[in-house]
């Protein structure tokens, strides 16, 4: 009709993702007529503002017309046609967008316009200070201003200019002394090796964090490579840290410079020293950027010890640590090899090892100092004092209230920064209750899949989940302090694509969640009883491990009792507790009846819980906001304001 009546050709069609625009028949029709389909992202009506505003205007006009007449609602279509005709006849004038007044800080940045991105009504700009290409909708073009660059303006040229102009006189050559391996001539213009001058203090608590590396900086936004370190505003600190690493490798005689054998292969991109053990095979490494020996620039490093970047490094280090700690009387937990225990009378010492980060817990300060001194005698350790961070978790203590909290704010800030969202405003957007999602609502074509891979929001949303200021809190209830509870639940046929159900369970210790899972079931359930029985089976396997692990620690005596596992499905509980019941369970695979064995052996006790009190409910489905908030509080997720 548009082509015949107006002589115009439709070149593109912008629409939301409603079903009438997503059918294959409609898409084929557009393709046959050469019309490009533009679709807005999900839940962003503002990206289709012209149509959304026009629809609202039409509805307002129709309501106004119908309110002034006694005609029945069957005449709505006539009113709509009349409103449409009036709007088409009225002249319109585009108005300038009103802007808010500037505040104390500038609200815009100066960029270089470089073109138009495909399949979206925006602009592409290059931002030289951060060497990034930005896709922006609103911009003001300064047509009388020019780029202040002497080069051609290409991305490659701009990068080179930035690198050459930032630190033109930095020399990062290492100061090799006479007698150091095969280097005999000293070099000038060196950066001195920095040693920590921090005064050592004995920890005032029972928990100590030790880092087995020799670096001082633990910035989550650390440079990715040597060139990035030179361009960093704190390049001097990074260069000092690199010198410390290299000096540590020299002190440990990690490598020797040799000619690369004819069939030898080298490794590159070695990050830093990994307190190490001698290797059993020959490994060669290229000399490190910025620290190439000028006398032997073509030689390679033949490694004598393992370092970061090697496949053998973690295993070699773990063997060495295990050998040394066993000599001091520690025993390794059979169910969690990263945990070591030493008990002497009433004194209990726990060591938790993750790669080369070590956490020490002790109920006697004197014994804590003895263990620390022993480790410092075995390895080049650095005492970080009372544990404040571990593996990106911030640790909060309130001994007067017997509370301890864990927070991932530093990790979340890192994710936000990586996706250029550090200045984004915080919003709470909750899933719609009983919402059904399917693959058909996501990217389908290869072009859409490729485009979604480059959308920062898609990768960031799962990592953030609006928990930046939330703490996982333990303690405060003496009656339940040292007792493990488990809640299990299932969402029946929650997956719209293959009609499989969802398993959810959570283990609670000392008032907070210590172990949880939310995953699609691998077995097809034919009823809600089946789904809950399978979920309880999944939870029972984890319960056996939890019970064995905690029992090995020797500090939670109640773990010798069966773990109370709560389920809200009476039928599933009956089948699990009574092996004689076969109705409704004949088709079960044999492995799911492992649940019955676990109950029989006394590892768990399956009990009934009211559906509104099942804390695993929000691990299987979207709940209304009040219920979701109640469950998160009951598993120990609390805002930081409730602790501080």
pLDDT for the residue numbered 216: 31
Confidence tier at 213 by pLDDT (50, 70, 90): very low
Angle at 91 between CA 86 and CA 95, to 5 degrees: 125
**What is the reported pTM?**
0.58
- Collapsing DSSP to helix, strand or coil, 595 comes out as helix
Selected residue with higher pLDDT from 580 and 101? 580
In this structure, is the dihedral angle defined by the CA atoms of residues 90, 95, 100 and 106, taken in order, positive or negative? positive
Is residue 43 predicted with pLDDT exceeding 80? no
In words, the CATH class of domain 476-642 is alpha beta
Selected residue with higher pLDDT from 190 and 497? 497
pLDDT, mean of residues 482-489: 90
In Å, how far are 33, 99, 401, 510 from 635, measured between CA atoms?
A: 56, 45, 18, 10
| Spatial distance between the Cα atoms of 209 and 372, rounded to a whole number of angstroms | 10
Is residue 203 predicted with pLDDT exceeding 50? no
pLDDT, mean of residues 515-531: 89
pLDDT, mean of residues 55-70: 82
Q: Domain spans of the chain?
A: 2-89, 112-166, 207-378, 476-642
pLDDT for the residue numbered 487: 96
Selected residue with higher pLDDT from 615 and 464? 615
Is residue 212 predicted with pLDDT exceeding 80? no
| Spatial distance between the Cα atoms of 333 and 555, rounded to a whole number of angstroms | 13
pLDDT, mean of residues 37-55: 72
pLDDT, mean of residues 308-330: 80
| Spatial distance between the Cα atoms of 29 and 481, rounded to a whole number of angstroms | 65
pLDDT, mean of residues 18-44: 74
Quick: pLDDT tens for 215-228: 333 344 567 777 78
pLDDT for the residue numbered 494: 85
pLDDT for the residue numbered 644: 66
pLDDT, mean of residues 171-177: 35
DSSP annotation of 65 reads H
Is residue 113 predicted with pLDDT exceeding 60? yes
Quick: pLDDT tens for 434-485: 777 788 888 888 888 887 777 766 666 655 655 677 888 998 777 666 788 9
Contact between 180 and 362 under an 8 Å Cβ cutoff? The reply is no
Confidence tier at 119 by pLDDT (50, 70, 90): low
Selected residue with higher pLDDT from 96 and 180? 96
Lowest mean pLDDT among 79-83, 173-177, 315-319: 173-177
Identical fold for domains 2-89 and 476-642, yes or no, is: yes
Q: What percent of the chain has pLDDT over 90?
A: 12
pLDDT, mean of residues 51-58: 81
pLDDT, mean of residues 494-507: 89
- Collapsing DSSP to helix, strand or coil, 378 comes out as helix
Selected residue with higher pLDDT from 355 and 499? 499
User: Phi and psi for 606 in degrees, rounded to 5?
Assistant: -85, 120
Contact between 411 and 220 under an 8 Å Cβ cutoff? The reply is yes
Task: Report DSSP letters for 410-442, one per residue.
Answer: HHHHHHHHHTT-TTPPP---PPPTT----GGGS
pLDDT for the residue numbered 541: 93
Selected residue with higher pLDDT from 515 and 264? 515
Is residue 560 predicted with pLDDT exceeding 80? yes
Lowest mean pLDDT among 221-230, 307-316, 354-363: 307-316
Quick: pLDDT tens for 618-638: 899 888 888 888 998 999 888
pLDDT for the residue numbered 80: 83
Alpha helices (runs of H) in 218-359, residue ranges in sequence order:
226-231, 235-251, 313-327
Is residue 313 predicted with pLDDT exceeding 80? no
Is residue 104 predicted with pLDDT exceeding 70? no
Across 28-37, 140-149, 453-462, the highest mean pLDDT is recorded for: 28-37
User: Phi and psi for 134 in degrees, rounded to 5?
Assistant: -110, 140
Averaged confidence pLDDT in the chain: 75
pLDDT for the residue numbered 189: 34
The DSSP element (H or E) to which 637 belongs, if any, is strand 637-639
Across 149-153, 183-187, 408-412, 484-488, the highest mean pLDDT is recorded for: 484-488
Residue 608 CB contacts under 8 Å (≥ 6 apart), including other chains: 566, 567, 568, 570, 573
Is residue 183 predicted with pLDDT exceeding 90? no
| Spatial distance between the Cα atoms of 40 and 52, rounded to a whole number of angstroms | 12
Confidence tier at 53 by pLDDT (50, 70, 90): confident
| Spatial distance between the Cα atoms of 264 and 301, rounded to a whole number of angstroms | 12
Report the topology of domain 2-89: Nucleotidyltransferase; domain 5 (3.30.420)
Contact between 313 and 293 under an 8 Å Cβ cutoff? The reply is no
Quick: pLDDT tens for 583-612: 656 666 677 888 888 999 899 999 999 999
pLDDT for the residue numbered 188: 31
Selected residue with higher pLDDT from 617 and 173? 617
Lowest mean pLDDT among 233-247, 504-518, 519-533: 233-247
pLDDT for the residue numbered 554: 80
| Spatial distance between the Cα atoms of 234 and 232, rounded to a whole number of angstroms | 5
């Amino acid at each position: 009709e548009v082509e015949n009546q107006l002589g115009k050709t439709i070149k593109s069609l912008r629409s939301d993702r409603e079903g009438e625009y997503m059918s294959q028949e409609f898409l084929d029709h557009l393709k046959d007529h050469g019309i490009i389909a533009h679709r807005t992202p999900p839940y962003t009506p503002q990206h289709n503002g012209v149509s959304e505003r026009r629809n609202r205007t039409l509805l307002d006009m129709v309501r106004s017309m119908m309110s002034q007449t006694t005609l029945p609602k069957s005449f709505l279509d006539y009113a709509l046609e009349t409103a449409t005709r009036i709007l088409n006849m009225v002249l319109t004038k585009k108005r300038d967008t009103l802007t808010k007044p500037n505040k104390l800080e500038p609200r815009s940045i100066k960029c270089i316009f470089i073109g138009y991105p495909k399949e979206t009504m925006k602009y592409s700009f290059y931002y030289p200070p951060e060497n990034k290409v930005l896709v922006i909708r609103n911009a003001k073009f300064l047509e009388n201003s020019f780029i202040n660059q002497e080069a051609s303006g290409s991305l490659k040229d701009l990068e080179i200019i930035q690198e050459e102009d930032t630190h033109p006189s930095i020399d990062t050559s290492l100061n090799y002394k006479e007698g150091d391996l095969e280097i005999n001539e000293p070099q000038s213009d060196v950066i001195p090796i920095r040693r920590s001058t921090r005064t050592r203090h004995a920890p005032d608590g029972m928990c100590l964090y030790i880092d087995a590396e020799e670096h001082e900086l633990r910035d989550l936004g650390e440079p990715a490579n040597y060139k990035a370190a030179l361009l960093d505003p704190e390049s001097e600190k990074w260069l000092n840290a690199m010198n410390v690493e290299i000096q540590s490798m020299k002190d440990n005689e990690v490598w020797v410079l040799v000619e690369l054998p004819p069939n030898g292969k080298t490794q590159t991109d070695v990050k830093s020293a990994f307190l190490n053990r001698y290797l059993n095979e020959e490994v060669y490494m290229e000399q490190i950027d910025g620290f190439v020996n000028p006398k032997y620039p073509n030689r390679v490093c033949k490694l004598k010890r393992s370092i970061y970047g090697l496949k053998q490094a973690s295993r070699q280090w773990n063997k060495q640590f295990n050998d040394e700690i066993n000599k001091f009387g520690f025993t390794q937990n059979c169910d969690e090899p990263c945990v070591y225990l030493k008990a002497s009378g009433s004194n209990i010492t726990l060591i938790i090892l993750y790669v080369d980060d070590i956490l020490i817990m002790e109920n006697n300060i004197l014994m804590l100092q003895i263990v620390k001194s022993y480790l410092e005698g075995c390895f080049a350790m650095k005492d970080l004092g009372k544990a404040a961070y571990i593996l990106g978790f911030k640790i909060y203590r309130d001994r007067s209230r017997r509370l301890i909290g864990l927070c991932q704010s530093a990790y979340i800030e890192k994710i936000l920064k990586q996706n250029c969202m550090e200045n984004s405003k915080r919003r709470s957007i909750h899933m719609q209750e009983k919402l059904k999602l399917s693959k058909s609502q996501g990217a389908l074509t290869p072009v859409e899949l490729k485009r979604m891979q480059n959308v920062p929001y898609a990768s960031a949303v799962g990592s953030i989940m609006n928990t930046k200021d939330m703490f996982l809190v333990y303690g405060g209830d003496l009656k339940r302090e040292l007792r493990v509870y488990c809640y299990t639940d299932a969402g029946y046929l929650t997956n719209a694509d293959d009609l499989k159900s969802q398993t959810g369970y959570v283990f609670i210790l000392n008032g907070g969640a210590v172990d949880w899972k939310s995953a699609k079931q691998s077995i097809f359930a034919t009823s809600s009883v089946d789904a809950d029985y399978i979920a309880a089976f999944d939870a029972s396997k984890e319960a056996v491990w939890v019970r064995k692990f905690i029992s090995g620690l020797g500090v939670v005596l109640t773990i010798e009792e069966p773990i109370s596992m709560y389920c809200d499905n009476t039928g599933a509980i009956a089948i699990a507790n009574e092996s004689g019941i076969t109705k409704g369970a004949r088709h079960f695979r044999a492995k799911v009846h492992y649940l019955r064995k676990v109950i029989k052996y006394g590892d768990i006790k399956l009990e009934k819980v009211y559906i509104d009190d099942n804390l695993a409910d929000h691990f299987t489905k979207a709940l209304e906001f009040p219920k979701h908030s109640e469950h998160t509080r009951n598993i120990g997720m609390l805002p930081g304001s409730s602790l501080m």
